[in-house]
């Protein structure tokens, strides 16, 4: 942004703390009646029929909610449906010739699928997978970049009742192996590679390396994305996707009837302790919730062209690129590459070309757009946009206002949506056709969501005071358990605030927050040992174990420090073994160790060598202190440490680096 422009924006928008939904938006919004909050409260849990009604059911449910065995809630019990039928088949009659997926590759090539074409692809893939031996409830892992075969394979799995487990393509070989082992997954769908900044990137070698770490037999299907740009040879248990599917041309597969509570997919996410958690989502509750929030918050209508710029490898892409939009029969845009290739206006070119109606992206991306300057969006006609959304991390008011003005032309509502992998869909955000927007604050809980901000003892805090988010009632999109680990499910999410004796179950998302007089919640960030880098969730323990695996490292601590663009960045403090010395090579091998162990997104911003880590008298590493050092914040009293002297030395190092 130029200085003069920034001053003008500052002057006009800086002091404005509240924004009303634009009239033009309200007139056409899917949800406009403010009584919806009251209606949901009064009719809870039956209010959730409204979500279930957005789907086609093979058999209607007998009960909306069964809570005999809390916190193992069951939704739409007795109901039967198939997710691929809901996302594809049921649109054929009215929308068979309309676009379901509009894909654009990084190099500019495009592929589009009408609902009719998507139906054909999904059926052929489903037939192929079924003949490979994939049966109902077999978990199929997908380790794929943003290619159309990814949603096609997901829907094909849903069609035959096989849950998928998608592993983000940017994750490492180790991460793939860990997830396939944890889920006993015998099938992998992957890809030879993809384009990044114009270059063909090898992905299959990483997949193969991961497979070496899988402790059981596997069958792999490989999509050929790069053609001649990457020669790859298939192993004995590997098949080429196109060759395989070609044998099933025109084949159709009857969608398997699934119980509402049957698993639709698993998604592994990071938590406080070492191993990733396998979050289990169901067919009926999850799909209803993804459809309902796409309808009420993203205002998706069948005729829209809707774009969520996330990666399908994360929950955002599952709920809001694939399941929500397709359940509603709209056109969902998928883009393979980076936002600055070939130039920094790529996103705006896509919005203009496809006349995108809604754009849903991350604050970290908006901060990058801001830094690149408004001259990039200005080169394009963005007038098709009707609604903007953000997700993944808090958005600072300055970035919010930039997005509002330079992308939304002050005529699109912005929804700042707070939710998690575990919640399946949005939980706290404004309804765009109803509520006043307050930049920096996500908004009130959605209708039917009983979220609060409480202190350590579970009492609601006064407006303005910092506390923790809790959710006091279940909702259809919630995770049902952690795969094969019910105990951990209870420990992680329910133990902190529930009163088992009184049978009061409270979900704890592990986020700090505050609330204002109008009930608007501002999220302050994670309170567990999770680092949020560019809206991506990374466990400190996972990073630390990758660092400790590097030869010569004795002990390590990883913390999140503030970062202008990424929100948070990884800082690692490292103690070397005797005989190893601090050096550029050592630093490099630690950085590589983290990239290999987790993925490039976890790449440490700084590696700080130290002879000791600050510890409490009981021997616990003082993470908060290490965070304060990374942020160059005031450290307060450090005299209660076992080794207070080390603090100055570490601080000195961080500052001089
Ligand atoms: C964590 C969940 C939700 C899909 C993407 C991330 C943070 C998410 C917001 C927001 C402030 C947010 C929270 C949450 N977060 N959305 N609008 N404002 N913080 O899913 O990887 O499961 O991470 O992301 O800290 O707990 P996830």
pLDDT tens digits for 455-512? Answer: 999 999 999 999 999 999 999 999 999 999 999 999 999 999 999 898 999 999 999 9
Query: Does 539 sit in the ligand 1 pocket, CB within 6 Å?
Result: no
| pLDDT at residue 592 in the model | 96
Q: Whose CA is nearest to atom 17 of ligand 1?
A: 418
Q: What is the pLDDT of residues 140-173, one digit of tens each?
A: 999 999 999 999 999 999 999 999 999 999 999 9
Q: Is the complex ipTM higher than 0.95?
A: yes
Q: What is the CA radius of gyration of the chain?
A: 24
| pLDDT at residue 569 in the model | 95
Buried b (16+ CB within 10 A) or exposed e, 584-605: eebbebbbebbbbbbbebbebb
* CA 521–ligand 1 middle distance (angstroms): 14
Query: Does 269 sit in the ligand 1 pocket, CB within 6 Å?
Result: yes
Query: Does 347 sit in the ligand 1 pocket, CB within 6 Å?
Result: no
* CA 650–ligand 1 middle distance (angstroms): 31
CA distance 496 to 507: 8
* CA 299–ligand 1 middle distance (angstroms): 21
Query: Does 147 sit in the ligand 1 pocket, CB within 6 Å?
Result: no
Q: What is the pLDDT of residues 89-121, one digit of tens each?
A: 999 999 999 999 999 999 999 999 999 999 999
Q: Whose CA is nearest to atom 23 of ligand 1?
A: 420
* CA 391–ligand 1 middle distance (angstroms): 7
Q: Are strands 277-282 and 263-269 parallel, antiparallel or unpaired?
A: antiparallel
- Weakest-pLDDT range from 406-415, 441-450, 534-543: 534-543
Query: Does 321 sit in the ligand 1 pocket, CB within 6 Å?
Result: no
| pLDDT at residue 604 in the model | 96
For residue 71 the two structure tokens come to 């916190």
Nearest to 354 by CA among 328, 378, 334: 334
Ligand 1 atom showing the smallest separation from residue 390 Cα: 17
pLDDT of 655 higher than 80? yes
* More confident site: 275 or 421: 421
pLDDT over 70 for what percent of the chain? 98
| pLDDT at residue 358 in the model | 98
Q: Which CATH number fits domain 534-656: 3.40.50.300, 3.40.50.10420, 3.40.190.290, 3.30.300.30?
A: 3.30.300.30
CA distance 505 to 494: 7
Ligand 1 atom showing the smallest separation from residue 510 Cα: 26
* CA 511–ligand 1 middle distance (angstroms): 9
| pLDDT at residue 85 in the model | 98
Nearest to 599 by CA among 395, 337, 313: 313
| pLDDT at residue 621 in the model | 84
Q: How confident is the model at residue 276 (pLDDT cuts 50, 70, 90)?
A: confident
Q: What is the mean pLDDT of residues 220-228?
A: 96
Contact 255, 89 (CB under 8 A): yes
For tokens 């031996």, the residue is 133
* CA 463–ligand 1 middle distance (angstroms): 22
pLDDT of 12 higher than 90? no
* CA 418–ligand 1 middle distance (angstroms): 6
Query: Does 509 sit in the ligand 1 pocket, CB within 6 Å?
Result: yes
Q: Whose CA is nearest to atom 21 of ligand 1?
A: 537
Query: Does 394 sit in the ligand 1 pocket, CB within 6 Å?
Result: yes
Q: Best of 271, 453, 535, 568 to mutate for ligand 1, by most ligand atoms within 8 A of CB? A: 535
* CA 532–ligand 1 middle distance (angstroms): 8
| pLDDT at residue 80 in the model | 99
User: Maximum distance among all alpha carbons in the chain?
Assistant: 73
For residue 449 the two structure tokens come to 């969501």
Query: Does 315 sit in the ligand 1 pocket, CB within 6 Å?
Result: yes
Q: What is the pLDDT of residues 399-439, one digit of tens each?
A: 999 999 999 999 999 999 999 999 999 999 999 999 999 99
pLDDT of 441 higher than 90? yes
Q: How confident is the model at residue 11 (pLDDT cuts 50, 70, 90)?
A: confident
What angle is formed at CA 397 by the lines to CA 395 and CA 403, rounded to 5 degrees? 75
Q: Whose CA is nearest to atom 5 of ligand 1?
A: 392
Ligand 1 atom showing the smallest separation from residue 422 Cα: 22
Q: Best of 451, 529, 537, 542 to mutate for ligand 1, by most ligand atoms within 8 A of CB? A: 537
Q: What is the pLDDT of residues 331-377, one digit of tens each?
A: 999 999 999 999 999 999 999 999 999 999 999 999 999 999 999 99
| pLDDT at residue 638 in the model | 83
Q: Whose CA is nearest to atom 19 of ligand 1?
A: 393
Q: How confident is the model at residue 10 (pLDDT cuts 50, 70, 90)?
A: low
Structural domain boundaries in the chain = 113-256, 534-656
CA distance 535 to 332: 21
Calculate the average pLDDT of the chain. Answer: 95
| pLDDT at residue 273 in the model | 67
DSSP-derived 3-state class of residue 83: helix
| pLDDT at residue 370 in the model | 95
Query: Does 430 sit in the ligand 1 pocket, CB within 6 Å?
Result: no
* CA 393–ligand 1 middle distance (angstroms): 5
Query: Does 102 sit in the ligand 1 pocket, CB within 6 Å?
Result: no
Architecture of domain 113-256: 3-Layer(aba) Sandwich (3.40)
Q: What is the pLDDT of residues 279-329, one digit of tens each?
A: 999 999 999 999 999 999 999 999 999 999 999 999 999 999 999 999 999
Q: What are phi and psi of 646, to 5 degrees?
A: -65, -25
For residue 290 the two structure tokens come to 């993804």
DSSP-derived 3-state class of residue 54: coil
Q: Whose CA is nearest to atom 8 of ligand 1?
A: 392
Contact 151, 181 (CB under 8 A): no
How long is the chain?
A: 657
Ligand 1 atom showing the smallest separation from residue 426 Cα: 3
Query: Does 316 sit in the ligand 1 pocket, CB within 6 Å?
Result: yes
Q: What is the pLDDT of residues 564-587, one digit of tens each?
A: 999 999 999 999 999 999 999 999
| pLDDT at residue 528 in the model | 86
What angle is formed at CA 90 by the lines to CA 84 and CA 95, rounded to 5 degrees? 115
């Amino acid at each position: 942004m130029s200085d003069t422009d920034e001053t003008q924006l500052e002057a006009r928008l800086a002091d404005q703390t509240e924004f009303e939904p634009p009239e033009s938006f309200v007139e056409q919004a899917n949800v406009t009646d403010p009584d919806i909050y009251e209606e949901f409260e009064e009719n809870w849990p039956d209010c959730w029929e409204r979500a279930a009604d957005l789907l086609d059911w093979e058999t209607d449910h007998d009960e909306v909610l069964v809570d005999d065995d809390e916190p193992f809630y069951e939704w739409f019990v007795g109901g039967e449906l198939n997710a691929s039928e809901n996302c594809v088949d049921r649109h054929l009659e009215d929308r068979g010739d309309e676009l379901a997926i509009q894909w654009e590759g990084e190099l500019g090539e495009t592929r589009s699928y009408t609902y009719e074409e998507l139906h054909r692809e999904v059926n052929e893939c489903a037939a192929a997978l079924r003949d490979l031996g994939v049966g109902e409830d077999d978990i199929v892992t997908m380790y794929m970049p943003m290619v159309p075969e990814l949603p096609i394979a997901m829907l094909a799995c849903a069609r035959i009742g096989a849950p998928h487990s998608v592993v983000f393509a940017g994750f490492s070989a180790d991460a793939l192996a860990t997830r396939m082992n944890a889920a006993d997954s015998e099938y992998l769908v992957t890809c030879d590679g993809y384009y990044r900044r114009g270059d063909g990137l090898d992905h299959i070698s990483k997949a193969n390396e991961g497979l070496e770490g899988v402790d059981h037999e596997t069958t792999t299907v490989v999509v050929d994305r790069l053609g001649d740009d990457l020669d790859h040879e298939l192993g004995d248990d590997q098949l080429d996707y196109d060759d395989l599917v070609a044998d099933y041309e025109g084949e159709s597969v009857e969608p398997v009837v699934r119980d509402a509570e049957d698993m639709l997919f698993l998604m592994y996410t990071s938590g406080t302790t070492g191993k990733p958690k396998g979050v289990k989502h169901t067919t009926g509750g999850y799909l209803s919730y993804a459809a309902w929030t796409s309808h009420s918050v993203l205002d998706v209508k069948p005729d829209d062209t809707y774009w969520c710029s996330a990666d399908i490898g994360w929950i955002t892409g599952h709920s809001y690129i694939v399941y929500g939009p397709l359940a509603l029969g709209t056109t969902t845009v998928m883009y393979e590459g980076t936002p600055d290739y070939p130039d920094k206006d790529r996103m705006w070119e896509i919005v203009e070309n496809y006349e995108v109606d809604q754009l849903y992206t991350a604050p970290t991306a908006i901060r990058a757009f801001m830094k690149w300057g408004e001259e990039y969006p200005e080169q394009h006609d963005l007038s098709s946009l009707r609604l903007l959304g953000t997700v993944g991390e808090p958005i600072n008011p300055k970035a919010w206002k930039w997005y509002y003005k330079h992308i939304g032309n002050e005529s699109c509502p912005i929804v700042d949506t707070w939710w998690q992998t575990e919640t399946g869909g949005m939980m706290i955000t404004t309804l765009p056709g109803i509520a006043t927007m307050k930049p920096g604050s996500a908004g009130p809980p959605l209708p039917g969501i009983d979220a609060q901000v409480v202190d350590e003892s579970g009492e609601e805090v006064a407006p303005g005071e910092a506390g923790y988010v809790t959710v006091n009632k279940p909702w259809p999109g919630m995770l049902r358990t952690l795969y094969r680990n019910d105990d951990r499910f209870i420990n992680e999410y329910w133990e902190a605030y529930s009163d088992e004796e009184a049978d009061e179950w409270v979900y704890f998302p592990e986020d700090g927050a505050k609330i204002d007089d109008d009930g608007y919640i501002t999220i302050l960030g994670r309170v567990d040992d999770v680092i949020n880098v560019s809206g991506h969730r990374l466990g400190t323990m996972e990073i630390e174990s990758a660092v400790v695996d590097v030869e010569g490292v004795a002990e390590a601590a990883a913390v999140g420090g503030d970062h202008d663009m990424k929100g948070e960045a990884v800082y690692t403090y490292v103690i070397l073994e005797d005989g190893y010395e601090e050096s550029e090579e050592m630093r490099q091998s630690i950085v590589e160790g983290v990239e290999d162990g987790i993925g490039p997104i976890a790449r440490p911003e700084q590696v700080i060598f130290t002879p000791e880590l600050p510890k409490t008298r009981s021997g616990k590493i003082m993470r908060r202190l290490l965070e304060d050092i990374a942020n160059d914040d005031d450290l307060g009293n450090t005299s209660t440490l076992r080794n207070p002297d080390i603090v100055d030395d570490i601080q000195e190092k961080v500052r001089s680096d």
